[in-house]
Amino acid sequence: MRAGYVAIIGLPNVGKSTLLNRLLKVKLSIVSRKPQTTRRQIIGILTEGDAQAVFVDTPGVIVPKYEVHSLMMKAIRQALAGADIVLWLADVDTAASGDELVKKLLPHGTRLFAINKIDRAADKNALLPKIEHYQRMGFDEVFLVSALRGDGLDELKRAILARLPEGTFFFPEDQLTEHPERFFVGELIREQIFNAYGEEIPYASFVTVEEFKEREMGKYYIRAIVYVEKDSQKGIIIGRDGAALKRLGTKARKAIEVFLEHEVFLDLWVKVKQNWRRRRDLLGQIDAGNV
Ligand code: GDP
Ligand code: MG
């Protein structure tokens, strides 16, 4: 089995969200003509056969003209450090404008470069020097794609899956392909945990959505579990007479209702599970990009 993280990096508007949606065949990430419409870092999971790629879209981490805020820079470096594969994406018309940034942030590990929007290029032969250019810059492979039309994406996907490191899956096989909303519901609950508590609890917790179904009266019934590592953490989340958990549940429910545009009954539980380290590393990676 192979599994790993793939960070999609690039200037705003080059088509990162479009590519992610297209690779996953599901709309996860907001696509817009305006740069930086994606508010949070999105992960999408692609499981095919014995390989699982966890994609991280990195919205707004790179601003044009290299006026890169140090915090953003830190976040993007962290995202890069946590990635097994870095996929740099550029717009065929403006590729060169990202070169300085590529040099600054050229990651270690597997580096792929994709030139997007080739549907706009009248003369495909003119793209050959660009391919050579990025190969010389140190990328392992360079692809020509159109995220919008799907050109070149099978080849890109095959290369990504083949280059993932050996390891067990991070997520259940069916997650995100069938129930993308489950992941976001978990993220919205986790976000509330981050808002409510200091350092320790958020990093020691992980949320799973166990059940998600529509009830007769039209409300969604969602049962979720917040896993923590210690009894003491469980006590803090639940609070006196369950008051803290109730507050957390209400805030999370409201956020979920806004996201799903639907009424929700949220059944929220807290359980202790030791050795969530692997998961905790995962949380760290996700949060690193939330700028
Ligand atoms: P992001 O900011 O990098 O996430 O870029 P988006 O995915 O939001 O896309 C920005 C704009 O580029 C949108 O209007 C997309 O429809 C457009 N776009 C993305 N991929 C392609 C492509 O392959 N060809 C063309 N012509 N437009 C594309
Ligand atoms: Mg985007």
Q: Which atom of ligand 1 is nearest to the CA of 38?
A: 4
The band of 185, judged by pLDDT with boundaries at 50, 70 and 90, is: confident
Give pLDDT, residue 209: 85
Give pLDDT, residue 24: 80
Residue whose C-alpha is closest to residue 278's, from 236, 244, 229, 234: 229
The band of 117, judged by pLDDT with boundaries at 50, 70 and 90, is: very high
Q: What pLDDT, in 10s, does the model give residues 6-39? A: 888 888 789 987 898 888 865 454 343 333 333 3
The pair of three-digit structure tokens given for residue 180, joined into one six-digit string: 């993308």
**265 has which bridge partners?**
221
Whether 15 lines ligand 1, by a CB cut-off of 6 Å, is yes
Residues in the chain: 291
Q: Record the pTM.
A: 0.62
Whether 153 lines ligand 1, by a CB cut-off of 6 Å, is no
The pair of three-digit structure tokens given for residue 76, joined into one six-digit string: 């993007």
Residues 195-200: contacts with CB under 8 Å, at least 24 apart: 195/251, 196/244, 196/247, 196/248, 196/251, 197/236, 197/237, 200/233
Q: What is 2-163's CATH number, 3.30.930.10, 3.40.50.300, 3.20.20.70, 1.10.3720.10?
A: 3.40.50.300
The pair of three-digit structure tokens given for residue 55, joined into one six-digit string: 């994609």
Question: Could you state, in order of their start, the residue ranges of all structural domains in the chain?
Answer: 2-163, 181-288
Q: Which atom of ligand 1 is nearest to the CA of 30?
A: 8
Give pLDDT, residue 83: 83
Least confident of 33-47, 51-65, 125-139: 33-47
Q: How far is CA 288 from CA 40, 63, 204, in A?
A: 11, 17, 16
Strand, helix or coil for residue 247: helix
pLDDT beyond 70 at 76:
no
Whether 94 lines ligand 1, by a CB cut-off of 6 Å, is no
> DSSP assignment, residue 84?
S
Question: Residue 164 CB: number of other CB atoms within 10 A?
Answer: 21
The answer to whether the beta carbons of residues 26 and 176 sit under 8 Å apart is yes
CATH topology for the 181-288 domain = GMP Synthetase; Chain A, domain 3 (3.30.300)
Region 170-193: what's the mean pLDDT?
A: 70
